[in-house]
Structure 1
Amino acid sequence: MTLFQRLKKAADDEWAAYTHHDFVRQLEAGTLPPEAFRNYLIQDYLFLIQFARAYALAAYKGRTLADVTQGLRGLSASVEETELHVRLCARWGISREDMEATPEHPATVAYTRYVLDAGNRGDLLDLHVALAPCVVGYAEIGARLQPVLDDHPDHPYAEWIAEYASEQSQQLAADAVAELDSLGARFLPEARFGEVAETFATATRMESAFWQMGLELADAER
């Protein structure tokens, strides 16, 4: 069992609530209100800016060239991922500048700053554990939702699903799982597992709160 699998098993309820959230179920069905998706995309763009900073912190905290390289890959992937958000939001006439001018929602602030704090106060393992629910969870969701595109090629959220079901996203997730194993061998005495598992569970709960934010912002617009 990989370290990620152990962390996921320890946070089984939180993981299920995150990966099968009502936002995700509605997105899969194509019934998610466009305003919920739009608000989510804007906040996720702001989220990715902070995640790029977190990966830059991972590179800084790296003790080996491999550590630094992994951090740089995550930083680059986060920046590249913003292009999806730019393309999708452009359909509503929302520019990159408009997104960057939008205030961060408290859920965005809470999650991203929690991850950055985990990295600042802890070691490289703490930081990658806090990052893992996002990069691995989105790939898991994308892979699970991908078959719906075979039956519904005109699915309203096809581009989002295809992005996270893509080979690139799946490889990023696999790399993140392998990195956790590598770091666990270096930084994780068994007595510390509970502490690391709580970081993972907390970050996973914040993923659920991020989906919920999208739904609530849409409700507020009605």
Structure 2
Amino acid sequence: MTYGRTFPLWRAAAGETWPAYTGHAFVQGLADGTLPHPTFLHYLVQDYLFLIHFSRAWALGVTKAATVDEMRHCAATVNALINDEIALHVALCAREVIDEAQLLDAEERAENIAYTRYVLDAGHSGDFLDLLAALAPCVLGYGEIGARLLAAGGGGPYAEWIALYGGAAYQEVCHSVGALIDGAMALRLGETPEATPRWDALCQRFTTATRLEVGFWNMGLTP
């Protein structure tokens, strides 16, 4: 999946870190159904906590935005996170007799703290581009993973998770975020942002967030 012009360039700049994330053993377990159910449940609980902070980071984008259109994009992404992704986590956990109050009370793992606080810090200490570079691996990486797994069949015990991220609604979010990134880059850095002094630092932001995604999957495999 391309999701615009900038994302493929950032993905390429991340080198082997990107396939280490999108082809992780956790992802393979989702694809072939071999991921143990308790492991998946542990991941869902941690990802619920992650998504709360991730929603706050996207909400921060509204204050960092330069245009009303950018504000609309960020607000729409917050809506998708809260009303689609978080709602799925709550529904899946409810089937295991874990209610939302228990999810909120769960202990946040160190890998989760490291990743979410990195993204929030990127937004607080940097500008809109720093924030988008730190946010992109999660949003667009899950879209890429979901589309690939759905195209491969998308069945098995984790079909509902695959259907969410591979489905049309989430894919539309990814295309929208890709367009948001491209527009923000062009507005601030011109039509060839890779030729500007800021490019390497933004690539590094993206790569660091991708490394933290790998760490999140590792955490998921070690309940």
TM-score (norm: length of structure 2):
0.93
Q: Which runs of 5+ in 1 are unaligned?
A: 218-222
Pick from 60, 68, 72 the counterpart of residue 71 of structure 2: 68
Distance in 2 of aligned mates of 1:2 and 1:34: 37
Q: Residue type of the partner of 1:49?
A: I
Question: Is 1:39 matched with 2:42?
Answer: yes
Question: Is 1:24 matched with 2:27?
Answer: yes
Look up the SS of the partner of 2:72 in the other structure: helix
Look up the SS of the partner of 2:218 in the other structure: helix
1:4 Cα deviation (Å)?
1.1
Look up the SS of the partner of 2:198 in the other structure: helix
Which protein has the bigger helix share? 1
Other-structure match for 2:141: 137
Distance in 2 of aligned mates of 1:148 and 1:171: 20
Q: Which runs of 5+ in 2 are unaligned?
A: none
1:10 Cα deviation (Å)?
0.4
1:186 Cα deviation (Å)?
2.2
Question: Is 1:201 matched with 2:207?
Answer: yes
Other-structure match for 1:220: none
The ranges of structure 1 where at least 4 consecutive aligned residues each deviate by more than 2 angstroms after the TM superposition are: 147-150, 186-189
1:19 Cα deviation (Å)?
0.2
RMSD, aligned α-carbons: 1.2
1:128 Cα deviation (Å)?
0.9
Deviations 1:11-52 (A, max 9, x none): 121110000000000111100011110010001000010011
Pairing of 1:30-179 with structure 2 (within 5 A): 30-80=33-83, 81-149=85-153, 152=155, 155-179=156-180
Distance in 2 of aligned mates of 1:169 and 1:12: 25
Question: Is 1:3 matched with 2:6?
Answer: yes
Distance in 1 of aligned mates of 2:103 and 2:218: 19
Pairing of 1:177-216 with structure 2 (within 5 A): 177-188=178-189, 190-216=196-222
Distance in 1 of aligned mates of 2:7 and 2:30: 26
- Over the matched positions of the two proteins, sequence identity in percent amounts to 46
Distance in 1 of aligned mates of 2:188 and 2:131: 12
Q: Residue type of the partner of 1:44?
A: D
Distance in 2 of aligned mates of 1:6 and 1:148: 25
Look up the SS of the partner of 1:12 in the other structure: coil
TM-score (norm: length of structure 1):
0.93
Distance in 2 of aligned mates of 1:170 and 1:120: 28
1:167 Cα deviation (Å)?
0.5
